[in-house]
Every structure is written in structure tokens, then in C-alpha cells.
Amino acid sequence: MPELPEVETTRRGLALKLDGRRIARIEAHRPDLRFPLPKNFAKTIQGRRVEALERRAKYILIRLEGGLVWLVHLGMSGRMLLRLGWPNDIGPHDHVVFATDEGWSVTYNDARRFGMMDLVPAAALPRHRLLAELGPEPLADDFTPAVLQAALKGKKTPMKAALLDQTVVAGLGNIYVCEALFRAVISPKRLAGTVPPEKLKKLVPAIKAVLNEAIKAGGSSLRDYVQSDGELGYFQTRFRVYDREGQACTACEKPVKRIVQSGRSTFYCAACQR
């Protein structure tokens, strides 16, 4: 499932070929993804110039001329495939295909169809039902230990669940929550409201560091992705606890544990993380 670093990598990859270009051709091959596509979706986008590509949490915001924002979420399995030229064969999961006036095309492929697209007037974007409740951007300067402390105050949910709550901090998913909690030596089971401020002072930089490292790993391989199979936004990164059940903790060498919290796997070191 694409998390913030994968979405950011996708955004950067798309920006290389879309920024300032006109959408010369666009086809939607079905009327809906997770939600129905807006009325006259393709017709509204066709011919407009891309002014900027931004990201908010796990949403890609394609700013189009005329004050319109094309909102994209990759859901569980959405991928953006970039290639030179219109694709020769369009598969059953290639739901939206578009191309720029320079001839680069993007195929939105989404087998499970949990992704979404919407068209929103720029002025209405902050009030959009999917964006309005989002907490601070983890990589922004206004995400500080004090802000996190205020958001967690009195919370009786485990730390793992609290950090997955998009109103606490936007865009964090399972992998990077596990990794950040390990780096900050905080137990994922600890009740969020009981984590002392000193620990939150470690956690906030840990969250920013794991995200930045993952973005860097994805970003450095962008060129290769475009040149080889055109797939943006997936990369190998070295996890310290995630998916390492039974392997030695990188700090104390005791085996990494896996537990299930709110239906999702949590990986952590029970010896280090308190």
C-alpha cells in the first residue's frame, strides 16, 4: 500500500514530465474508482495546463489552469505508470490514461480500486470532505513535539493507533509508524496520553527522518523507474523492524516481535521499546 514516501516519490516523478505541460488527451475507462468520477471528468481536464503538483498527506494535488485541482489518491494498489507515447495495450485495471502535449503518458492502474480522483475548485480545497479533517503534515515545520503532545493529550488508544489516526498527523501508515516508534524507543502498545514529552521530542524527529530517508531512497531511483518500466513510487528501503519478525533487533539483538493491533501487523522490539 502506498504510504507518504511512495506518494511523494510519485508526485516528484510526475512533476518531471507534467509540470507546465498541457493535458492533450485523457481517457477514463470506467465511471468510478472508489467513488464516482466527477461529471465530465475527462472533458473538464482535457486541454488544461498543469500549473503545479503538490501533495497533502497521501493525496496528490494536480493544480490545473483555471483554478481547478485534480485530486488523486492511490488507495491500496493505485500506481501511476509514466511512459513516452500513448500505451499500445490498455489493461483491465488501467482506469485512467492521459498524455501531455510533449507526448508523455500516464496510466493510472488500480487493481483493487480503492483509489479516488476528484476535481475541486482551488478555493474549496481546504473544505473538501477528505482533506478538511487532516492533521498536520509530518514533514512541515509546524509539526512539532508540542503540537503532537497536544493532539495526544488524554488519548487512551495505543500509540500505534494514535499515529495512524489521520487527524493527529496526516499521511502516516503502518510501515513508517512501526519504524518511527522503534527509533524513538516507544512501545506501540503504550497508551498515547501517557507518553512523556521527552519521548515525543525524540519521536517527531524520528518520524521526519524515516520519511525523508524513504523519500530519498525513492527519489534517487526515479530516473531508473522512468527509463525502465515506468513505474513510479515503489522502492526498496531498509527497515529496522517492519517485516522482520524473529530477526535480531538492530539495537539489542533480541528477536523482533509481531503483534496485531486494530487488524494490522505491528513489528517492534519488546526489550528496547517502552
Shortest Å, Cβ 186 to Zn ion: 13
Q: Applying CB under 5 A, does 270 fall inside the site for Zn ion?
A: no
Which of 2, 138, 158, 188 is labelled catalytic? Answer: 2
Number of other residues whose CB lies within 10 A of the CB of residue 26: 20
Q: Applying CB under 5 A, does 185 fall inside the site for Zn ion?
A: no
Q: Residues touching Zn ion: how many (CB under 5 A)?
A: 6
One symbol per residue from 235 to 264: x for binding Zn ion (CB under 5 A), - otherwise; what is it? --------------x-xx------------
Shortest Å, Cβ 185 to Zn ion: 8
Query: Which of residues 200 and 269 has its CB atom nearest to Zn ion in the complex?
Result: 269
Residue 264, all three cell numbers: 494490522
C-beta separation of 186 from 203 below 8 A:
yes
The residues in 141-170 that bind Zn ion, with binding defined as CB under 5 A, are: none
What single-letter DSSP state applies at residue 158? B
Residue 110, all three cell numbers: 488500480
- CA dist., res. 9 & res. 12, Å (int): 5
C-beta separation of 193 from 155 below 8 A:
yes
Residue 118, all three cell numbers: 476528484
Q: Is 190 a catalytic residue?
A: no
Q: Is 2 a catalytic residue?
A: yes
Q: Is 264 a catalytic residue?
A: yes
Whole-angstrom CA distances from 139 to 95, 209, 236 are 31, 9, 21
Query: Which of residues 221 and 250 has its CB atom nearest to Zn ion in the complex?
Result: 250
The residue of the chain with the least Cβ separation from Zn ion equals: 249
Shortest Å, Cβ 209 to Zn ion: 18
Query: Which of residues 122 and 272 has its CB atom nearest to Zn ion in the complex?
Result: 272
Q: Is 102 a catalytic residue?
A: no
Shortest Å, Cβ 99 to Zn ion: 50
Q: Applying CB under 5 A, does 68 fall inside the site for Zn ion?
A: no
Q: Applying CB under 5 A, does 178 fall inside the site for Zn ion?
A: no
Query: Which of residues 10 and 266 has its CB atom nearest to Zn ion in the complex?
Result: 266
Q: Which residues contact 3 (CB under 8 A, 6 or more apart)?
A: 58, 171, 172, 173, 174, 175, 176, 214
Q: Applying CB under 5 A, does 80 fall inside the site for Zn ion?
A: no
- CA dist., res. 148 & res. 192, Å (int): 10
In degrees, rounded to 5, the angle at the alpha carbon of residue 255 between the alpha carbons of residues 249 and 260 is 105
- Interacting residue ranges for Zn ion, rule: CB under 5 A: 249, 251-252, 269, 271-272
Residues with active-site annotation: 2-3, 58, 264
